[in-house]
Structure 1
Amino acid sequence: MWGTPLIVLLVGGGLFFVVFSRALPYRYLGHGLAILTGRYDNRNDQGTLSHFQALSTALSGTLGLGNIAGVALAITAGGPGAIFWMWVTAVVGIATKFFTATAAVMYRGNDSKGNLQGGPMYVIREGLGRGWLWLAVLFAFAGLCGTQPVFQINQLVAMLRTSIAYPLNLASEESHLVFDAAVGTLAAVCILIVISGDLKRVAQVTAKVVPTMVLAYLVMTGGVLLTNLSAVPDAFALIFQDAFSATAVAGGTLGSVIAIGVSRGAFSNEAGIGTESMAHGAARTNEPVREGLVAMVGPIIDTLIVCTCTALAILVTGVWQSDNGDGVVLTAAAFSSTYGSLGPSLLTVMVIFLSLSTILTFWYYGSKCLGFLIGARYQHHYVWIYCLLIVVGSIGTVGALFNFLIGMYAVMAIPTMVSALLLAPKIMVAARNYFSRLNGE
């Protein structure tokens, strides 16, 4: 799925948004940050979440194991050069997020219960018309499949197994099925308690957890980088050099390195994928452009800052060249090199909170996709299927699970990008109108 056509659609589409808008959204990034302070919030506007809650909810779906395990998997599969292509997706993804999130509010629609909803399926139905309904159904189906909790819970269990189960003899490398299932069941119960309060409770939890965990994670990775400060310039040089050399990784081809970097970048920041548009589409605002500016902050925090810190920690410590495993285990090895036995424990705390917050948000995404497909009055049944999948994911194999999710992300990108590209002229009309009013104030 992640071949040349899709890479052209995501990266090329993002470049089109940059050129078509003449980089206009980038010039108002500061205004986007001001909106997050609540200065422009109006409780009488349509929507459910404040701008800050909408961004926190969207980030909880991206700021998770994609930043910790996904970066490690990208380096393992594509080498250090894959990080460069993750950066590319983030830079052009800023413009992509502006267009897709603005559209998510501009073209909100009512579900079968009459509740106002946002997201690519409603953008397509309301913005492009019933003739494009098949494209909306395609997104909803892929979104339902791609936002399963299996990868997040799988990596969480792997982390707990390494840091807790093995040292305490609660499990062994040969026998850990019971431990894995127990953790999965406990996680399912915790998730069930939170999501019983629907989107508002999820938003309240993520608004507290996400900023705290991001700051804590940056402090942790900062310690690793300061300890290996002399190796940081070489790590950056290696990323740029390997991005165009395609060494013995990823089949030894440049195209494979680019595909791995772009796919992992999309999995990390979701720019152009469309899942985060369901969170931004729930923002309480009558000004679509404001939420577009808020959404732009996502790729900066997610990929350009957090993912970069993870990548540098792995590279400067040299663990990427060892046989320490992949995914979250490789990242844990990087922290161990600086913090000793305390490293995996600190990372375990991060993984627990970030993975569970992502699982919470993914439930919201999946339930909305299912509601679009079969009717909103039936989507509450999804919670039981979702909790069962948490248990199943805890005992699965990471490679197969991750590849399946990445494939579904590729499918989601097609309806999201096609609709955003077709509606781009109307979005720019709204943007120019908003900015002219803003500058006239």
Structure 2
Amino acid sequence: MTTIWAAGAATAQSIDQAVNDAFASATGPYVSFIFSNLPGTNFPWIVLWLVVGATVFTIYFGFVQFRYFGHAIALVKGDYSNPNDAGEVSHFQALATALSGTVGLGNIAGVAVAIGIGGPGATFWMILAGLLGMASKFTECTLGVKYRNEYPDGTVSGGPMYYMKKGFAELGLPGGGILAVLFSVFCILGALGGGNMFQANQAHVQITQITGAYPGWITGLIFAVIVFVVIVGGVKSIARVTEKVVPLMGVIYVGAALIILIVNYDMIGTAFGQIFAGAFTGLGVAGGLVGALIQGFRRAAFSNEAGVGSAAIAHSAVKTKEPITEGFVSLLEPLIDTVVICTMTALVITISGQLITDPATGMFVLDEAGVAIQTVGGNSGVALTSAAFGASISWFPYVLSIAVVLFAFSTMISWSYYGLKAWTYLVGEGQTKEIVFKVIFCVFIVIGASANLGPVIDFSDAAIFSMAVVNIFALYFLMKIVRRELASYGQRLHSGEIRKFEI
């Protein structure tokens, strides 16, 4: 019996290995192209593309993320909401759905990857990327609502593929349809990768921290069944789940991090000192500075998706007749996702002692290239975050496991909607066509849980950043339309024409 059991376990593990090998070889060339460096540097061009885009939108709209922050809060509270407006979900539900797609394992595992490679200094660049990215999110989500399709049955479809085609046509510019198709293809890949495989992969890793090792495809299969049950009901079903799951997972994770920070309150100042030192000194070498900056912006973009265009799909379903209002609501996402949650993760890891330092200098140990930081036990991704939580309070990895499962689940159901809308844009609307995509999506959950972290996260980044290339290019042409909407709304708001809705 023991021999049979051992043989069965070996066969199960070999399935995981076969899946990983096939996936890594199939996606390698695509990943290498996306992350090729700028000539003469080790700076990935896609990171520069995201940074420049976020900076341009911040300046072009006069730091809108700060000027309209209070109004964004009022909109989420429902102060200006008319339930009779076209759309399917409220401002809060749209924000919760979009947050469930961005507040995910990028906040837990992604931050650990950034710090494990770029050091604590990567945290500073993550925060800066989050603040600048608020303007990118504002731009794309405003356009998403403005150019959405509204159908007789009350459903809507929106997102970059729609504002690319319609917006370019409105301005008399060619190529909008081509951009829309390209974005849709990359969005489907992004949904299968970052919004799906990465989540399943890191959820499985964290679960095995508690239960011990077992084949990843088992975790993937369980997730696939649960996710399918939810997403088969459409965006309203997703919204009903996310408006409950997102606050719950936020309270669990942020609460756990806060407890650890309170217990170690005397080390918080030192942690911030390490973050700033790593951000600007490069830990004594130029490679460290570049590593911190690249990893900070790269992981922030993966986490909050500002400029990627994905959130515009979720926000397009909102009930409103003023597109700009959802732009205001959406700018809260990077703040919550990156500035608050990612920073708390980074602080916990930094004060936990899981990053190895040189006793003689107090500096973090770097590899031969002067970039990668060694970690206790060789942990990376969610395993590093789990070890950091456990270093302070031994049983906290169990709390983290609950948060990880909720994060992964909520992200997968939201990204299934993003991928579905890109799919239906390409192949047309229809229940049968939608079911085909949902089945494919769930199959990739199993693949993601079975594969190794390296190939999964590289493919996820490549797919999501491909979306950003097309999306930000289009936004440069369409941002004049958003500024016109902003000027009109701002004038009417300040004159009193736009008032809080009263029943």
TM-score by length of 2: 0.82
- The correspondence for 2:405, drawn from 352, 356, 367, is 352
- The correspondence for 2:424, drawn from 362, 371, 380, is 371
Match of 1:96 in 2: 136
**Pairwise mapping of residues 231-246 of structure 1 onto structure 2 (< 5 A)?**
231-246=267-282
Unaligned runs of 5+ in 1: none
Question: Cα 1:222–1:324, aligned 2, differ >3 Å: closer, same or farther?
Answer: farther
Shift of 1:193: 1.1
Match of 1:132 in 2: 176
Match of 2:384 in 1: 330
Shift of 1:329: 0.9
Are positions 1:258 and 2:321 aligned together? no
**Pairwise mapping of residues 295-306 of structure 1 onto structure 2 (< 5 A)?**
295-306=330-341
Question: Cα 1:25–1:265, aligned 2, differ >3 Å: closer, same or farther?
Answer: closer
Q: C-alpha offsets along residues 3-23 of structure 1, whole Å, 9 cap, x if unaligned?
A: 554333322222212221222
Larger Rg: 2
Residues in 2 aligned to 1:162 and 1:324: alpha-carbon distance in whole angstroms? 14
State the one-letter code of the partner of 1:239.
Answer: I
Shift of 1:252: 2.4
Q: How high is the sequence identity, in percent, across the aligned residues?
A: 38
Residues in 2 aligned to 1:409 and 1:237: alpha-carbon distance in whole angstroms? 32
Specify the SS of the correspondent of 1:286. coil
Match of 2:218 in 1: 182
Deviates more, 1:301-310 or 1:209-218: 209-218
State the one-letter code of the partner of 2:383.
Answer: V
- The correspondence for 1:288, drawn from 323, 326, 347, is 323
State the one-letter code of the partner of 1:332.
Answer: S
State the one-letter code of the partner of 1:325.
Answer: N
> Does the CA-based 8 Å contact 2:88-2:154 persist in structure 1?
no
State the one-letter code of the partner of 1:290.
Answer: T
TM-score by length of 1: 0.93
Question: Cα 1:12–1:346, aligned 2, differ >3 Å: closer, same or farther?
Answer: same
Are positions 1:390 and 2:445 aligned together? yes
Residues in 1 aligned to 2:479 and 2:124: alpha-carbon distance in whole angstroms? 27
> Does the CA-based 8 Å contact 1:140-1:373 persist in structure 2?
yes
> Does the CA-based 8 Å contact 1:324-1:333 persist in structure 2?
no
Are positions 1:28 and 2:82 aligned together? no
State the one-letter code of the partner of 1:231.
Answer: M
Between the two proteins, the alignment pairs up a number of residues equal to 428
RMSD: 2.0
State the one-letter code of the partner of 2:51.
Answer: V
> Does the CA-based 8 Å contact 2:87-2:154 persist in structure 1?
no
Q: C-alpha offsets along residues 158-182 of structure 1, whole Å, 9 cap, x if unaligned?
A: 1111112x2xxxx4xxxx22xx222
Q: C-alpha offsets along residues 118-142 of structure 1, whole Å, 9 cap, x if unaligned?
A: 1111110110126321111111111
**Pairwise mapping of residues 119-158 of structure 1 onto structure 2 (< 5 A)?**
119-129=159-169, 131-148=175-192, 149-158=196-205
> Does the CA-based 8 Å contact 1:320-1:330 persist in structure 2?
no
Question: Cα 1:218–1:253, aligned 2, differ >3 Å: closer, same or farther?
Answer: closer
Residues in 2 aligned to 1:292 and 1:333: alpha-carbon distance in whole angstroms? 38
Residues in 2 aligned to 1:424 and 1:25: alpha-carbon distance in whole angstroms? 15
Residues in 2 aligned to 1:346 and 1:243: alpha-carbon distance in whole angstroms? 31
Residues in 1 aligned to 2:239 and 2:355: alpha-carbon distance in whole angstroms? 36
Shift of 1:244: 2.6
Question: Cα 1:156–1:248, aligned 2, differ >3 Å: closer, same or farther?
Answer: farther
Question: Cα 1:8–1:182, aligned 2, differ >3 Å: closer, same or farther?
Answer: closer
Residues in 1 aligned to 2:449 and 2:474: alpha-carbon distance in whole angstroms? 35
- The correspondence for 1:279, drawn from 314, 319, 322, is 314
Shift of 1:110: 6.1
Residues in 1 aligned to 2:217 and 2:225: alpha-carbon distance in whole angstroms? 12
Specify the SS of the correspondent of 2:308. coil
Residues in 2 aligned to 1:355 and 1:5: alpha-carbon distance in whole angstroms? 29
Residues in 1 aligned to 2:139 and 2:443: alpha-carbon distance in whole angstroms? 35
> Does the CA-based 8 Å contact 1:61-1:359 persist in structure 2?
yes
State the one-letter code of the partner of 1:291.
Answer: E
